[in-house]
Structure 1
């Protein structure tokens, strides 16, 4: 991730925890040889008035408890372990030694009841309201009020503003594999359409394609990473509009490599950034050339053009993530650094100077 969501966006994150508590109370009663409390006494007191009005909840809990009653002791233990592990958020993201059974690891006889409850709870995030606003809308509005306008997974696409169509909620742990975290906002960060629907899809963020356990960033606490282009080489990349682009080397500067590797593997971040750099670099350089002429004037040497790059980065490129500024700034830092190369620096300076010269 490039940055995190504000923890304040979890202020309305109670549905998954509350219903899981009610579910477990019923399972405890069955394990003790009894039966769950009559409705709505099985619901935690602090949310009882809200949840008792959700008419679809009671039959789904009862169906779950009925199926659980028929399970063997070993199968009950397996199921309860899955509930405990999947709801242990956000620890499950970082602790690769922590097992996390998925839907296929629990008894098949109870799958339908599990799916029905998990899908219902996810839908309630858009149905249950506080002060006239749905819980998922409160979550997103809080994010936007704290300045989150860009998807932190790619840094490329804007979120739709509050009041328009809802943005996607990405199940980091897919609901098809980890149903007991289906309605936990810790597992449901907003994402752009590209990240959610074109790249992540139903990928398992906890296990790679070989089945090896991996760690990922907590969307509310990180770690986060800064893009670097160290190792990129000017003039050895793809051809765009008759120009040879740099051979881009995307690096992530952060506390550990593990979460960054997962981030890249799931969302294909590096390849998407390379495509964006190739597509946008020439327009960025042409804007720099226009700015140079307005601010500095014409008839300047290639050395004078190159010397203004740090000033352009500092004073013109927007801060942080608006309009892909994080990527644009790093591209210009790469160009500035390349101009100082003892072997190819003069060639790169002339390349930049040409844009200024022909912008007149």
Structure 2
């Protein structure tokens, strides 16, 4: 991730925990030979008024506990282990211990567990707490913190609260880790492209069958991008020009978590193909127009290159608007290449031609 969300966004992260507590309380009663508490007495007092009319929760919880009662005693610990491990957020993102999945549960438990998970996730859009629905309250806090771009890619804008909702990205997919289905710690907003084109149902903890670590969306680690190791005149040919060969480096700590981010969301490939190759020449042309307006034509190649630091400092925006975090890196690469002892003269002449014929 490029940046993290404010932890205040999940101040109302109670629904999943309430459901898990009710589930475990019912299982405790069954294991002790008692009947689980009746509805609505099984609901916590502080949430009873809000939840007691949710007949879907009642029926799905009852079905799950009924199937649990039928299990041989020897199989019951597997269910408990999956519940406790899947809900061990955020530790599960940063440790390397195995995590039981839906497929590890006894076969008879999978359908009722999945049904309850889907129901709980849907309730985030229909349960009100304070002034809004649970998921909308989470998003409103994020938007109010001035976050306007998807932290998974930095490319796509978030819509304002009240507009059609963006997806909530199940970092731990609901089809694999159903007991974290409605935990907002597991549900950071993501742009539609990141969620539906790239993330989809990928098991972020087990890529290619290997246990992986990933960033906590509320505490990171987060990363920045460098293009410093890219090679000028060695990349793809676009419009008759040979572009740099983009060597995208992810900078930060815990780089194994960065590689999970890159693998799942195809960060390097998207940046190189969709942004840098697609936009680099238009960025150079913008620089050329700016130079002509600021300085004028008729300058030598050295003078054209000498204004690059001022352009980076004064013209390119900070942050993520207009892909500025990539644009600034591309111009730092260009500035460095202009004074490279081996290719600098060629790069300066290349840039000068854009200015002279802008």
Q: TM class by shorter-chain length? A: over 0.9
1:312 matched residue in structure 2: 311
TM-superposed CA distance for 1:131, in Å, is: 3.2
Count of matched residue pairs: 357
Residue 91 of structure 1 pairs with residue 59 of structure 2: no
2:72 matched residue in structure 1: 72
Distance in structure 1 (CA, Å) of the matches to 2:288 and 2:124: 49
Could you give the per-residue CA deviations for residues 283-333 of structure 1, whole angstroms, max 9, x where no partner exists?
111111111111222211111111111111111111111111100000001
Root mean square deviation of aligned Cα: 0.9
Distance in structure 1 (CA, Å) of the matches to 2:351 and 2:336: 13
1:23 matched residue in structure 2: 23
Query: Aligned with 1:56: secondary structure?
Result: helix
- Contact 1:151/1:191 (CA < 8 Å) preserved in 2? yes
Query: Aligned with 2:221: secondary structure?
Result: coil
1:157 matched residue in structure 2: 156
TM-superposed CA distance for 1:32, in Å, is: 1.1
- Contact 2:228/2:329 (CA < 8 Å) preserved in 1? no
Distance in structure 1 (CA, Å) of the matches to 2:228 and 2:28: 56
Residue 296 of structure 1 pairs with residue 295 of structure 2: yes
Residue 251 of structure 1 pairs with residue 249 of structure 2: yes
Query: Aligned with 2:220: secondary structure?
Result: coil
1:213 matched residue in structure 2: 211
Task: After TM superposition, list the pairs within 5 Å mapping 1:108-257 onto structure 2.
Answer: 108-209=107-208, 211-257=209-255
Could you give the per-residue CA deviations for residues 84-119 of structure 1, whole angstroms, max 9, x where no partner exists?
0000001000001x2210000010101111011000
Could you give the per-residue CA deviations for residues 253-306 of structure 1, whole angstroms, max 9, x where no partner exists?
001211111001111110000011000101111111111111222211111111
Gaps of 5+ in 1: none
Query: Aligned with 1:81: secondary structure?
Result: helix
Query: Aligned with 1:176: secondary structure?
Result: coil
- Contact 1:229/1:251 (CA < 8 Å) preserved in 2? yes
TM-superposed CA distance for 1:73, in Å, is: 2.1
1:286 matched residue in structure 2: 285
Gaps of 5+ in 2: none
Could you give the per-residue CA deviations for residues 163-211 of structure 1, whole angstroms, max 9, x where no partner exists?
21100111111000000000011111111111111111110000011x1
Question: Runs of at least 4 residues of structure 1 off by over 3 A?
Answer: none
Distance in structure 1 (CA, Å) of the matches to 2:295 and 2:145: 37
TM-superposed CA distance for 1:132, in Å, is: 4.0
1:8 matched residue in structure 2: 8
- Contact 1:4/1:220 (CA < 8 Å) preserved in 2? yes
2:264 matched residue in structure 1: 266
Distance in structure 2 (CA, Å) of the matches to 1:339 and 1:127: 57
Distance in structure 2 (CA, Å) of the matches to 1:13 and 1:309: 48
- Contact 2:234/2:242 (CA < 8 Å) preserved in 1? yes
Distance in structure 2 (CA, Å) of the matches to 1:347 and 1:73: 76
Query: Aligned with 1:89: secondary structure?
Result: coil
Distance in structure 2 (CA, Å) of the matches to 1:337 and 1:54: 62
Query: Aligned with 1:252: secondary structure?
Result: strand
